Structure 1
């Protein structure tokens, strides 16, 4: 098996702002794994919140390149065990695991969702994300991209006013992501106002380790609350169970499709609502997420839609949120 590594700088269509940062571009690592004439592709983005750089991930892989390339590849699950023994960071694991799953599907000549015994007869549509900006610019972004379902990033001193103004311009469903910027008291106070304005749920309103606050929020909030920063790896699923109504699984944070599928299984056992989110990946990462769609209640896979230029083909998201799955097997990815 041969490894290829390439860094890309993805230009964003608009400056993207959340409660803790703004950016105009997104660095990403694309990993290729080639075996028997087939190449699978995986992706992981840089992330300052988790102190992840592309150069750091590439250095990790280069340090164990020989052990990876010498591995006798059979299944993604067995390969993942091998990768874990090499003590790689979860983001690095994700890029390799996504590539391994794409390769496996291509070797088997089947899309991953079929290998996993699911169908695309029914699946949730993705939201489209509106980052924090002036109210006028947030309205303009919303009008530029008519969509049935929006995720609105909040964490300002005028959060409810923002939603009131946005509501004047669309009947679409809203989801709110405060990215840990609120207190328990703010969340409980804002929830009924936001519910009246057509908000479906709140994503990670409190700091990731504020379990006491989340216990109060879950008890008193009139809106469901979904964990994001509180749910990073597999062991977090059970920890989040008593404090949240659902979890948002990020492939880069948990280490890829292989652990994400286990998190989905555990979440179902605990009666949690299940969502998978993205990290402004290209179509490489988004196409991997799409393979999980039949297993999910919600999905945030608009990353490639936020880019000014993409680097790959794979799944196509239509203007009503529906997905066209590619004929190519695996995750259906081809680099441009």
Structure 2
């Protein structure tokens, strides 16, 4: 583990002033410390932001819910407003990591967490995300856990977050603050596709930090988060789906669908939503929607099963959400 300078920031402006492109911010540290120990991240300075006043969850006058960047995953999952109005976010949070990690991990840290691709986490292996231009070892390597949606010939690494999938389905805004002031970024636009520049993972500029995530007004309806994985706890998704279904009788009036485990970023499944609107809430409808969202999936040597698994995740999550909407 390489040495680095360590500082504490007592307010947001200090945090902005004290960190640059070669530095890192630390709160829970559940991802950062792993990557520093692995020599994947090599910050010259680490700025502690745990003392910033960003641990509140508050309801806004327009019906949205404002979540501070330092709210722990455990506290957010158990918050009364989240349990009542955004159960899909609570379910996604509780499906991720372990109790101990959820107690430490923060909302902003979850948004910023990096891929668990083993080639990215091994400095001896070529990885365009870690070292642009070096190549993607996963494309011709062991890629069972890699993405089938949103890939490029430069990177096929999956985004690991459960919470982010729930937030894409619920709708949210990422609020950042930096040298140029405050910016608001639609959540589904915050994470970037790898394209030709897989090292650019998010729409965060040098010197900026996340201060809040604001959830859209509650969408109501039935909500369900389904995570399919190799074991039932402390494991990343092979395929996951967050689904919200609103019904009028047995007709779908609105649906929101997002996926994890199969894509290079938290994936808004717009084709599935379009296939659902105005249709009866039946198994056949849900299966057609699942086919629609996976129609552009690209399989590699070991992960073709994810296309079938992704369809199953979508159809089952929609079924569960519709059943809850009827209840």
TM value normalised by structure 2: 0.28
TM value normalised by structure 1: 0.27
Q: Which has the higher contact order (CA 8 A, sep 6+)?
A: 1
